[in-house]
Chains A and B, each alone.
Chain A
Amino acid sequence: MTFPTFIALRYLAASRRRAHVALISTISILGLAVGVAALVISLSLLSGFQDRIRSQMAERSPHVVVSATRGAALDDPEAVRRLLASRPGVVSVSPAIGGRAWISDLEGKSALPVRYRNAPRESESLEPASVDAPPRARVTASVAARTGVSPGGKVRLTSSRTRLSPIGPLPVAVIFAVSEVTRVGALEKTAEVEVSERFARLLSGTAEGAAALEARLEDPAGAEALAADLTSALPDAYRVQTWKDLNAPLSFALRLEKLVIFVTVALVIVVAALNIVSNVALLVIEKKRDLGVLASLGATPESLRRIYLTLGALIGVLGTAGGLLLGITTATLLDRFRAVPLPADVYLLTHVPFAVHPREVILVAAFALATAIGAAALPARAAARLAPGEALRLSR
């Protein structure tokens, strides 16, 4: 243990026996702990929600999409499909076929513009159950809400594509039975209809080929590696995107949200740091005589400065450790015991989720420690500048 650490440790330990210094040191440590805990809890809360949003993103979006760089269709969809299917971790590959249409009830009231596409999962189940039964469709909750249809009801989907008939061009229209109303989560309000691949081709007039091929992976986290692999394997005519690229604006918004929360709540730590400044400054004044004595014994100004920097670091370590313990425990318990309930029909979640991310915890700890040491730096510099003779003369 170096000489400054030796002194600083003793000052902190001994101050417990001296009421006013002890009180201020305790307040400094508690203040920092509260700040750290607040930051950990708010980031965990945000991470809890954001993790849900990200997993919904991964669930809803295709994990890897190969589309044409130019033009509306892939040059050689079959070759791309084979290439995708040959890669490990790829669970399914399907073409993306879709377009815009009007959805309405059979009387033609309450029409609504929607996007339709072939269902990425269980596409076959949307085929007609029998020869005279209508094909089926899944609609999103916002479509159901705005057209008033419910599962079992019938809707007409009128494509923007026209077909030439004896009486002139007619829009392509198909009647579907609604098989399911999908709830896609609070984050999406899109009006979408999923139909089987055959009817998507019919509505869009895409007899064969596809504008893009979509792959789903066992583990969405492997999307970037696969995309890099495909980019090098495919010619320039193809563009490869991951689910993260597709959701880039949302991801950016989530990161921005986290940054803003971090900066805002970190102000608590900055306020706690001001407390540390006054705490350490008080100790410098209190120990003025001792500083003079240590200088007379040959302590360098630098080592005197270090005593107080170390003191700041000790307060920082204690406060941060306490805050982390409090914050992580609180966040974990709140999540485990689902302590904060939510109205499920609004949020699609029964409780507020908390997720403690180790990387964020490390960031918070580093920030708190650096702030505490930075706060001690100012009074520590004053300690180093103290003229020892003056300190001894004035504190007789």
Chain B
Amino acid sequence: MKGERGASDPAPVPSTFHVPPSTSPAIAAVRALGVTKTYAGEGAPVTVFRNLSFALEERVFAAIMGPSGVGKSTLLHLLGGIDRPDAGRVEIFGQSLEELPPRERARFRNEKIGFVFQFHHLLPEFTALENAAMPHRIAGLSRADAEERALAMLDRVGLGERARHRPLALSGGEQQRAAIARALAREPRLLLADEPTGNLDVDSARVVFDLLEELHRERGMTTVLVTHNPDLANRCDKIFSMSREGIVGRAGYANR
């Protein structure tokens, strides 16, 4: 990733995150150790899960399934460092997110982690291209530079023609593809997708899932995907079932 930074890159920040080489399969890409998460509810605080542990090797395409309310999204947020556990720790590529100051944690997210949400969460005031270029802008790239790279990524997800449209002018599937282009803008090593097809019709869902799978293989990423769709989950390398009792993993059908 560092080698691909252009000479015009205004912020060629040397990576200070101690990420071991991606070729090492023994290191867990994602590890949650005894994490507990409690939200301050209306009345009493609500504990989503307690003492939950979870690990995933690199380059694995994993699905998390489970009933609503067991904390699948919360787990994803903890793994992505946009929420903090009340107890336990989260390590991504060996880096403990808790130990990073907010600024560094933000940069880590920008460089290493991509998010796709159930609702595309594209910023409505910006075109698909501007949305897809946002991670580059956050990293400090110039507008022209950022949009050039973003356009290449939109082409990759098949949205090159629709780049200048605002999210409202796109179909549900297109919106989600734009969101994927945005998530993958910085070529993250970890992709976290929270029900990325949950809001789409069957055909669009298949297109989006196919795309995610393709990109996962193509880029050698580690992907964690929350889904309610068993057919799609079964196409993953690994399936985790999450319940009140905890999280249990097994190999997906594709691997049997």
Bound complex: CA A279 to CA B150 (Å): 33
List A contacts of B118 (CB < 8 A). Answer: 396
B123–A6 CB distance below 8 A: no
When each residue 167-211 of chain B gets 1 if its CB lies under 8 Å from chain A and 0 otherwise, what string results? 000000000000000100010000000000000000000000000
B174 → chain A closest CB, angstroms:
18
Whether A389 contacts B77 by the Cβ 8 Å rule is yes
Interface residue A225 (Cβ < 8 Å from any Cβ of B): no
User: Is B126 positioned at the interface, with any CB of A under 8 Å from its CB?
Assistant: yes
Produce 1/0 per residue, B139-153, CB < 8 A to A. Answer: 110010000000000
For chain A, give the interface size range: 20 to 34
Question: Chain B nearest CB: distance from A39 CB in Å?
Answer: 34
Are B125 and A303 closer than 8 Å at their CB atoms? no
Nearest to B194 among chain A residues (CB) is: A392
B82: chain A residues at CB < 8 Å are: 292, 295-296, 387-389, 392
Which residues of chain B have C-beta atoms less than 8 A from A393's C-beta?
A: 73-74, 77, 83
- B83 lies within 8 A of A289 (CB): no
Residue numbers in B under 8 Å from A387 (CB-CB): 82-84
Least distance between A211 CB and chain B CB atoms (Å): 74
Residues of B contacting A388 in the complex (Cβ-Cβ under 8 angstroms): 82-83
**Cβ B77 vs Cβ A299 within 8 A:** no
> Which single residue of chain B is at the shortest CB-CB distance from A15?
B125
Asked whether any CB of chain A lies closer than 8 Å to the CB of B93, the reply is no
The interface residues of chain B lying within 8 Å CB-to-CB of A3 are 134, 137-138, 140
Q: Which of A10, A296, A298, A392 contacts B126 (CB 8 A)?
A: A10
A294 at the interface (CB under 8 A from B): yes
Q: Point out the residues of chain A lying under 8 angstroms from B135, CB to CB.
A: 297-298
Report the nearest B residue to A304, measured CB to CB: B106
**Known A14-B125, A389-B77, A392-B82: A300·B134 in contact at CB below 8 Å:** no
1/0 contact trace for A265-308 toward B, CB 8 Å?
Answer: 00000000000000000000000011011111111111100000
For chain A, residues 8 to 34, give those with C-beta under 8 angstroms from any C-beta of chain B. Answer: 10-11, 13-14
A294–B131 alpha-carbon span in the complex (Å)? 10
Check: B109 CB closer than 8 A to any chain A CB: yes
Interface string of B58-94 (1 = CB under 8 A from A): 0000000000000001100110101110000000000
Which of B83, B117, B123, B138 is close to A290, meaning CB atoms less than 8 Å apart? B123
CB nearest to A11 among chain B residues: B125
B80 contact from A296, A300, A301, Cβ within 8 A: A296
Is residue A229 within 8 Å, beta carbon to beta carbon, of the partner chain? no
- Total interface residues on B, using CB and 8 Å? 34
Interface residues of B in 6-43 (CB under 8 A from A): none
Interface status of B223 (Cβ within 8 A of chain A): no
Q: Which residues of A contact B228 (CB under 8 A)?
A: none
Across the interface, B138 reaches (CB within 8 A) one of A289, A292, A303, A390, namely: A303
Determine if B106 and A299 form an interchain contact, defined as CB atoms under 8 angstroms apart. Answer: yes
Given contacts A292-B82, A388-B83, A393-B73, contact A298 B123 (CB under 8 A): no
Q: Which residues of A from 378 to 396 have beta carbons under 8 Å from B?
A: 387-390, 392-393, 396
A6 to B83 alpha-carbon distance, docked (Å): 26
Contact for A300 among B102, B115, B121, B125, CB less than 8 A: B102
Highest count of chain B CB atoms <10 Å: which of A295, A298, A392 = A298
**Once the chains bind, are B143 and A298 in contact (CB under 8 Å)?**
no
Smallest Cβ distance from B57 to chain A, in angstroms?
A: 24
14 CB-based A-B contacts, threshold 8 Å: A1-B143, A6-B143, A290-B123, A292-B82, A293-B121, A295-B109, A297-B138, A298-B107, A298-B108, A298-B138, A298-B139, A388-B82, A390-B83, A392-B82
B binding-site residues for A, Cβ under 8 Å: 73-74, 77-78, 80, 82-84, 102-103, 106-111, 115, 117-119, 121, 123-126, 134-135, 137-140, 143, 182, 186
Chain A positions within 8 Å of B, measured between CB atoms, are 1, 3, 6, 10-11, 13-14, 289-290, 292-303, 387-390, 392-393, 396
A6-B137, A389-B77 given; 4 more Cβ-contact pairs under 8 Å: A3-B140, A300-B103, A388-B82, A396-B118
